[in-house]
A and B are shown apart, each in its own frame.
Chain A
């Protein structure tokens, strides 16, 4: 055995990787070579120190898992928002809305193709019975005037119910209907959308609106907060499996930099990885197995807990 081989054997010895015969060969070499014997001594001494050094690792912070999972959730939401398919869909829907709103404003020409398109567009607007350009353009003009716009939910429903018809058809399950003037305010309250003119938000709402659940949740958010964004996740069967809502103080815009939002989500997943929640987040399992998350960087932990507690008693459901 030469010194080079002996060095390799020494390292393997540190790993307990020598068989009996190899150990014997090494021992013979070390007995004859004083330099290697000294090196072997050094190796053995440093191996103990190295073992100590590699055991000297601080314990990771107790909320490490929670921090990672929060980052993952944020990342998932950002990706959802940046999804090219969603962007393309938003673009198409905006185009549709703009077309629907703009066509009635065009001069009416009888028996022309434009008229028939305009008529189709008008059927998507709230007032089906008052099918004249003047009647239809009125709410449009109103919407353009108001800075913080209140959006009539009917516009965003897949099968909108004309307002006039709503008044005619009695709906026994619902509370007594208020007067038309009052109705405008009460309907708008839970579903006000900040910066409603911003195309993306309007579009997102059109695509994924789940008004009944939003109506259930919105009364529980603090006064002055308005819905800025909502998104739904669906499973393979097209059933809603999660809903994510972002509320902002009135007048603020939802941007990446704005951390003032209040986030509320309902998720079918009941496998929350960690129960160690920071003081910015409350995660609770509902009786029906849904997981409720309430998070805000701005609100006090006590406020968050109050919101979560009131939502816990609201019989929330995704279906």
Chain B
């Protein structure tokens, strides 16, 4: 059953079927929120809000775009709102919760340091840039889909991703004390 089939059933009154969509997208939406907001609790709270909003606004879904794209748009807007409301709260990923695959303690420490370095570099990007980079590199969205999420043209989505990626590269290179991009 496709996402859109489920949406039709929910709109016809089968409310509980929405749970299938939650199960399908919970990890992806949580991942998006987690990467943008920076910690598990905020990520999970925001992700729950995303699904609640999506359910409330389901009647506005017009079946022209993919449901997943529409859901990501709700997700991105929810995270923007969250960031706006909690501007003073700078979230840093929790060191203890970082999971790395390295075997020795020294290698683990280095990998965790590297992850934190990337985390801090990503956080220097604007909320929109963070969203674009996350949607592309974590959610695997093509520029066409990112364009629908952000309601811009695919060309603009591509250019904004390029700019975000270059800005991120510069930040990483500077942090690592190497040559600027």
Name A residues whose Cβ lies closer than 8 Å to a Cβ of B: 7-8, 11, 14, 35, 38-39, 42-43, 46, 49-61, 64-65, 67-69, 71-73, 75-76, 235, 241, 269, 271-274
Contact = CB atoms under 8 A, between A and B. Distances in A.
Interface of B: 13-20, 22-23, 26-27, 30-31, 34-35, 40, 44, 47-48, 51-52, 55-56, 97-100, 111, 114-115, 118-119, 122, 134, 137-138, 161-162, 165-166, 168-169, 172-173, 178-179, 181
A54 B14 CA distance: 35
Contacts of B169: 39, 42-43, 46
A68 B44 contact: no
* Majority secondary structure of chain B interface residues (helix, strand, loop or mixed): helix
A273 B26 contact: no
A54 B115 contact: no
Contacts of A269: 14-16
A26 to B, nearest CB: 15
13 contacts: A11-B162, A38-B179, A39-B179, A42-B172, A46-B168, A49-B114, A53-B122, A54-B35, A58-B99, A60-B30, A65-B19, A69-B18, A272-B19
Contacts of B114: 49, 52
A272 B179 CA distance: 57
B165 A75 contact: no
Contacts of A241: 13
A51 B17 CA distance: 34
B101 to A, nearest CB: 9
B52 A60 contact: no
A304 B84 CA distance: 41
Nearest to A34: B179
A11 B16 contact: no
The 10 closest A-B pairs by CB, nearest first: A273-B19, A54-B138, A57-B31, A60-B30, A53-B118, A68-B51, A65-B22, A271-B16, A54-B137, A39-B181
A87 B177 CA distance: 66
A68 B56 CA distance: 12
A9 B122 CA distance: 22
A289 B108 CA distance: 53
B15 A51 contact: no
Contacts of A271: 14, 16-17
B179 A35 contact: yes
Interface centre among A14, A51, A53, A71 (most CB of B within 10 A): A53
A297 to B, nearest CB: 18
A3 B54 CA distance: 44
A6 B111 CA distance: 30
B30 to A, nearest CB: 4
Contacts of A272: 16, 19
B22 A71 contact: no
A211 B130 CA distance: 56
B16 A57 contact: no
Nearest to A58: B40
Contact of B18 (A14, A52, A67, A72): A72
B166 A7 contact: yes
Contacts of B165: 11, 14
